[in-house]
Amino acid sequence: MGESIALSVPANPKQARSKKTKEKIVQAAIQLFRQRGYEKTTSNDIASEAGVSVGSFYVYFTDKRQLLLTIFDRLADELYKNIFDGLKPEHLFDSNLRRRIKQAVANTIIDKQKHSGLHRVVSELLLKDADFAARHKAVMVRSIAKLQELISLADKAGLTWNIDVEAAAFIVQRVVFDVSQDYVTGCCEFDKERAIEALADMIYRFVFKPRD
């Protein structure tokens, strides 16, 4: 068809080139950040790895930090969705709630690992960069609030132990995110499948009374 020909000949070939270059830089950055961390990766390194000049780097990004800040927001959104899309209020009454919890835990770990290099780098900045820390905190607070909503519902439905709902939401969120992060930092190695199982068990037994 004529249309497919039109698609294969982009309106503006220059913009396509730009996009490609930008992507080359992003990919090079991800790779180097993964290998060396944020600080030890220089903008010259990134450009060189991407096969472009330093000048090009600064055409597309104001600096190293801004590159990462942008990526961070994307990551955070994706992660949030991956976790909570499979964890709706109605699921609380499912017979397979436990499996759902396990799935949410697994999703968190899997998602973090998928972008392992970036999560490492982000956490490197979290400790030094107030902006990163603030954004990260906001994401955590949002997740905790979401969990609290769910647990609170379960609580009202008499599904849970007599617990401190706020504290439970806080702890559960921390526990899942932190262990996921551990798999990212590589600070410990334990069979992922068994760890997920244990984590899900722990959360389930902590919050919910045994059913039937």
Q: By the criterion CB under 8 A, which residues form the site for a second copy?
A: 36-37, 39-40, 120, 123-124, 126-128, 133, 136-137, 140-141, 144, 161, 163-164, 166-168, 170-171, 174-175, 178-179, 181-182, 185-188, 190-191, 194-195, 197-199, 201-203, 205-206
Stretch that binds DNA, among 10-18, 72-80, 142-150, 179-187 (CB under 7 A): 10-18
Distance in Å, CB of 133 to DNA, minimum: 19
Q: How far apart are CA 123 and CA 38, in angstroms?
A: 10
Are 49 and 28 within 8 A, CB to CB? yes
Smallest gap from Cβ 74 to DNA, in A, equals 20
Least spacing, CB of residue 39 vs DNA, in Å: 7
Residue 59 contacts by C-beta under 8 Å, 6 or more apart in sequence?
none
- Residue 124 contact, options DNA, a second copy, none, Cβ 5-8 Å cut-off depending on partner type: a second copy
Instruction: Please name the residue that has the structure tokens 């551990």.
Output: 182
**Closest CA relative to residue 151, chosen from 87, 77, 82:** 87
By CB under 7 A, the count of residues binding DNA is 25
CA distance 110 to 177: 11
H or E segment to which residue 40 belongs: none
Angle at 146 between CA 134 and CA 79, to 5 degrees: 65
Q: Which stretch binds DNA (CB under 7 A): 40-48, 104-112, 153-161, 162-170?
A: 40-48
Q: What sign has the CA pseudo-torsion 16, 21, 26, 31? A: positive
Minimum separation from the CB atom of position 78 to a second copy (A): 19
192 binds, among a second copy, DNA, none (CB under 5 to 8 A by kind): none
Site string for DNA, 48-67 (x = CB under 7 A): ---xxxxxxxxxx--xx---
With CB under 7 A as the contact rule, the residue among 13, 158, 186, 210 that binds DNA is 13
- 209: enclosing H helix or E strand: none
Decide: 108 and 100 in contact? Cβ < 8 Å. Answer: no
CB of 92 to a second copy, least distance (A): 18
Cβ atoms within 10 Å, residue 153: 16
Picked from DNA, a second copy, none, the partner binding residue 164 (CB below 5 to 8 A depending on kind) is a second copy
Contacts of 186 (CB under 8 A, 6+ apart): none
Give me the residues that bind DNA (CB under 7 A), please.
13-15, 17-18, 20-21, 40-45, 51-60, 63-64
